[in-house]
Amino acid sequence: MTNFIFVPEGLIVAGAVALILMARAWRRPRWWLPTAVASLALVALLIELWVGATLATFFGGALVQDRFALFAKSAVLLAAALAIAVTDWSDEEAPTIGMAMILLAAFGVMIVASAGDFVGLWAGLELAGAAAVVLVSARRADLGLRLLVTGGVASALVLIGLALVYATVGSADLPAVRRDMAFEGATLPLAIAVFVLLGGLAVRAGLSPFQFARVPVSLGASPLGAGVIIGLVAAAALTVAIKIAAALTPLPAVFGPYLMVVAAVAMVGGGAAALATRSPRARLAYLAAGQVGWIAAGLATHYRSGLGASLFLVGAFALAATTGPALMAGADAGEFALAGIGALRPARAAGIALVFLSLAGAPPLAGFFGEFAVAAAVAQGGNLWLLSLGLLGALMSLAAAVGTVRAIYLQSPPDESRRASGVRLPVLTRLSTMGAAALCVAIAGYGVFANPIISLADQGAEALGLR
> Which residues are at the interface with other proteins (CB under 8 A)?
305, 308-309, 342, 346, 350, 357, 362-364, 368-369, 372-373, 375-382, 384, 387-388, 391-392, 394-395, 398-399, 402, 405-406, 409-410, 448-451, 454-455, 457-458
Helix axes of 430-448 and 366-380: crossing angle, nearest 10 degrees? 30
Nearer to other proteins, 288 or 362 (CB): 362
Q: Which long-range contacts (CB under 8 A, 24 or more apart) does 185-190 make?
A: 185/251, 186/251, 186/253, 186/254, 189/164, 190/164, 190/165, 190/251, 190/254
Q: Is 332 helix (H, G, I), strand (E, B) or coil?
A: coil
Residue closer to other proteins (CB basis): 140 or 304: 304
For residues 45 and 450, which CB has a smaller minimum distance to other proteins in the complex?
450
Nearer to other proteins, 152 or 363 (CB): 363
Query: Shortest approach of other proteins to residue 375 CB, angstroms?
Result: 6
Using the minimum distance from each CB to other proteins, give the nearer residue, 362 or 438.
Answer: 362
- Minimum CB–partner distance for residue 449 and other proteins (Å): 8
Q: Cβ distance 229 to 288 under 8 Å?
A: no
Minimum CB distance to other proteins, residue 266 (Å): 18
| Strands, E assignment, 258-411 | none
**Cα 206 from chain centroid (whole Å):** 10
Q: What is the DSSP string of 53-115?
A: TS-EEEGGGTEEESHHHHHHHHHHHHHHHHHHHH--GGG-SSHHHHHHHHHHHHHHHHHHHHB
> Under a CB-based contact definition with an 8 Å cutoff, are residues 155 and 129 in contact?
yes
For the bound state, the minimum distance from the C-beta of residue 139 to other proteins, rounded and expressed in Å, comes to: 34
Nearer to other proteins, 100 or 398 (CB): 398
Whole-angstrom distance, CA of residue 328 vs CA of residue 352: 7
